[in-house]
Chains A and B, each alone.
Chain A
Amino acid sequence: MNLAVEIAGLRFKNPLIAASGTFGYGVEYEGVLDLSVLGGLVSKGLYLEPREGAPPPRIVETPSGLLNAIGLQGVGIHAFVRDVLPRLVRYDTVVLVNVCGDTVDEYADVARVCDGVPGIAGLEINISCPNVKKGGLAFGGDPRMTHEVVAAVRSVTRLPVIPKLSPNVGDIAVFARAAEEAGADALSCINTLLGLSIDVEARRPRLGFGTGGLSGPAIRPVAVRMAWQAARAVRIPVIGIGGIASATDALEFLIAGCPAVQIGTANFVCPGIYARILADLQAYLERHGLEDIGAVVGTLEYPGLPRPCDREVCE
């Protein structure tokens, strides 16, 4: 039975990837789980320099979800390459770096540092973090800026470029196409939904930053819808993200047209979740008489629309 998938020229041994910001730099989970179980992992967001992040409180639990404003605290790309990567390359998994910037130039500079570094397989471009004052959503909320950032990164690296799109937009298809035209190899959909939780006694936001990004099972239907819309809009692969905590959840994204998925908030809840989801995915394939996980991708029967996997034939 084959669970391996290929995205942007990279071979993932299975379609489960640990999402940025929910898996640290990977090495924190050494000993808790075997990192070689993962199809891939995406580093915490990295700027050129270390970042302090947002003032606490940084997380609030909400119904079936988590509202966070960590503010991209991080060690910076140089420390990651120097201190973390040598430990990560010991594992048989695909390592993607989540690239951040305050400016277009900074995104390109971080990408340049990563280019040619053994062990870095690709770049996820973070144009959708709602918890920083500059960069982030400023680039992901305007299709022209999305195009500019992706093109700038594209021009300085041979690594696969995977922009991570924001759900905090009107029509994600517009952003998906802008990123594809700028040279993206794949897309990650979606980042967190902008939210606000209020302490009614103090009449203040519960988070130190004010607003935050909502994640977890609460956002899954929104995420499946947006990943599906993005996948229908472009020819490059779309990696689905949003509230996945089981094989059934992952299959929703696969059927909607995503060849792989990222697991985020569930890492906090259950660090050993990968082995269970993989076992359940295999059981699903067996039950449906399928040999290859790819046979599930894009098989959504949506009334009045061609199946995503049949689209090119229809066109």
Chain B
Amino acid sequence: MIVRMPANGIVPLVEREGLGGPYWLLSFRHGETAREARPGQFVMMKAGLSAEPPLRRPFSILAVDRQRETFTLFVKAIGQGSHALASLGCGEPAQCLGPLGRSFTPPPPGTEALLVGGGYGVAPFRFLGEDLGHGAGRARLFYGGRTAADLPLLDRLTGLGLTVVPATEDGSLGVHGRVVVPLEAHLDEAKRPVRLYACGPEAMMHAVARIALDRRLAAEVSLDPWMGCGIGTCLACVVRVQGPEDARPRYRCACTEGPVFDAARVVWPGEDASGARRAAEHDGRGAPP
């Protein structure tokens, strides 16, 4: 949950590193975000001080350095806003509002955290993996993409006490197949209780939500709809969510009530109720834990 108000500021780029193709690691100095951010939270960013493009863009926080008062973003330059950000030189300013949104819920003691990151959706999981500590085997990251070039962050995820399992759809790196293939294989073998966390393309998060529901596992997803303001005033980034108390799904802002949601409470495209509600109504199993 948000514990402090976000801070709005002009933040300089202090470090940039290309990871090949459209992928960049960009670090900005912003004491408030560096100090306060929790894994799963995001910042609203806009390169420079010019008017175009009009809106700031949301980016998951990849890492923070509290000593240096910096935070780092993993950016795929695919549109006007992300291109402008990736084109900044060191020392050049960006506009930043953060940290924003609801963070991931840490797993209970003795529970293995299974992180599922698709493409640049892996960004919040470096922060989460680091935060979960270095207990061996306590957290496992399934990192998927179409091809090896979609996993540019792979060698930056070592040394965190995180077991990383890459998967590519074309088999060029790691497990051959979608990222849920090694996830399901692991779940079939898992001896300990687990908790799932997913961030990536909507279809991938939907698939993880279905797996969690079928196996009655707790899961959180980090959703990524278009955002206008980041603080719940424009009401643009709504997603349909059905809480335990809701008779019908309701629109909730991903920026303030998310971006992290209980996967079983999300009403996915093409469905008319949350997974938890359908499970409860259709086979009387009740809501998942």
- A208 to chain B: closest residue by CB: B238
> What is B's interface to A at a CB cutoff of 8 Å?
5-8, 46, 51-56, 80, 95, 97, 225-226, 228-229, 231-239, 250-251, 256
Beta-carbon contact of B8 and A267 below 8 Å: no
Q: A22-B233, A28-B232, A29-B233 are in contact. Are A73 and B54 (CB under 8 A)?
A: no
User: Could you pull out 20 A-B pairs where Cβ atoms are within 8 angstroms?
Assistant: A23-B233, A24-B235, A28-B231, A32-B5, A44-B235, A52-B250, A53-B251, A56-B236, A56-B251, A57-B226, A58-B226, A59-B228, A60-B226, A64-B54, A73-B251, A245-B51, A268-B229, A269-B46, A269-B54, A271-B97
A70–B235 alpha-carbon span in the complex (Å): 7
Beta-carbon contact of A268 and B232 below 8 Å: no
Q: A59-B226, A66-B55, A73-B251 are in contact. Are A271 and B231 (CB under 8 A)?
A: yes
Q: A28-B232, A58-B238 are in contact. Are A269 and B8 (CB under 8 A)?
A: no
> What is A's interface to B at a CB cutoff of 8 Å?
21-24, 28-33, 44, 52-53, 56-61, 63-66, 68, 70, 73, 216-217, 245, 265, 267-272
Beta-carbon contact of B226 and A267 below 8 Å: no
Closest 6 CB pairs of A and B: A31-B5, A24-B233, A59-B236, A268-B229, A58-B236, A268-B228
Beta-carbon contact of A269 and B56 below 8 Å: yes
Given pairs A70-B236, A270-B95, 16 additional interface contacts (CB within 8 A): A28-B233, A29-B233, A53-B251, A56-B238, A57-B225, A58-B236, A61-B54, A61-B55, A66-B228, A68-B236, A268-B56, A268-B233, A268-B234, A269-B46, A269-B55, A271-B97
- A265 to chain B: closest residue by CB: B54
A170–B263 alpha-carbon span in the complex (Å): 49
Inside 8 A of B250's CB, which chain A residues have their CB? 52
A29–B1 alpha-carbon span in the complex (Å): 17
The one of A33, A53, A61 that contacts B53, using a Cβ cutoff of 8 Å: A61
Q: Is the interface of B mostly helix, strand, loop or mixed?
A: loop
Beta-carbon contact of A52 and B229 below 8 Å: no
Q: How far is the CB of B48 from chain A (nearest CB, A)?
A: 12
A30–B5 alpha-carbon span in the complex (Å): 8
Inside 8 A of A271's CB, which chain B residues have their CB? 8, 97, 229, 231
Q: How far is the CB of A53 from chain B (nearest CB, A)?
A: 6
Beta-carbon contact of A53 and B232 below 8 Å: no
Inside 8 A of B236's CB, which chain A residues have their CB? 56-59, 68, 70
The one of A24, A32, A73, A217 that contacts B97, using a Cβ cutoff of 8 Å: A32
Q: How far is the CB of B268 from chain A (nearest CB, A)?
A: 13
The one of B46, B54, B229, B239 that contacts A56, using a Cβ cutoff of 8 Å: B239
Inside 8 A of B8's CB, which chain A residues have their CB? 32-33, 270-272
A268–B235 alpha-carbon span in the complex (Å): 11
Beta-carbon contact of A70 and B55 below 8 Å: no
A287–B250 alpha-carbon span in the complex (Å): 52
Q: Which of B7, B54, B228 has the most CB of A within 10 A?
A: B54
Inside 8 A of A52's CB, which chain B residues have their CB? 250-251
A277–B239 alpha-carbon span in the complex (Å): 34
Q: How far is the CB of A75 from chain B (nearest CB, A)?
A: 11
A32–B96 alpha-carbon span in the complex (Å): 12
Inside 8 A of A21's CB, which chain B residues have their CB? 234
The one of A22, A32, A245 that contacts B234, using a Cβ cutoff of 8 Å: A22
Beta-carbon contact of A65 and B251 below 8 Å: no
Beta-carbon contact of A73 and B238 below 8 Å: yes
A31–B229 alpha-carbon span in the complex (Å): 15
A61–B84 alpha-carbon span in the complex (Å): 15
- B55 to chain A: closest residue by CB: A61
A68–B236 alpha-carbon span in the complex (Å): 8
A59–B95 alpha-carbon span in the complex (Å): 21
Inside 8 A of B7's CB, which chain A residues have their CB? 32
Inside 8 A of A59's CB, which chain B residues have their CB? 226, 228, 234, 236
A32–B238 alpha-carbon span in the complex (Å): 22
Inside 8 A of A272's CB, which chain B residues have their CB? 8
Q: How far is the CB of B158 from chain A (nearest CB, A)?
A: 37
- A62 to chain B: closest residue by CB: B54
Q: Which of B55, B235, B250 has the most CB of A within 10 A?
A: B235
A65–B232 alpha-carbon span in the complex (Å): 19
Q: How far is the CB of B47 from chain A (nearest CB, A)?
A: 13
